[in-house]
Amino acid sequence: MKSSAYKTLCQEIIKVDSSIRSAGITNEDGIILHISHRKGMKPLLSSEERAQYAITAAT
């Protein structure tokens, strides 16, 4: 899948419900392939915290 497809998918997920703040896609090793945030929303996690969470979620 191309990165533009990841971006499109994440944006579509965010549109599903106004309570969704962000959407991300990781590979099986927990590497973040793409992440999108709702416009006007400040991320709750730093980029380091997101990376650690993705690794934990993948294992």
Q: How far is CA 36 from the centre of its chain?
A: 5
What's the pTM value of the predicted model, to 2 decimals? 0.74
- Tokens linked to 50: 């997101």
- Tokens linked to 56: 């934990």
- pLDDT tens digit string along 21-50? 999 999 998 889 999 999 998 888 898 998
CA distance 47 to 28: 19
- pLDDT tens digit string along 4-25? 999 999 999 999 999 999 999 9
The DSSP symbol for 51 reads H
- Tokens linked to 55: 């690794």
- Looking at the DSSP bridge assignments, the partners of residue 36 are 23
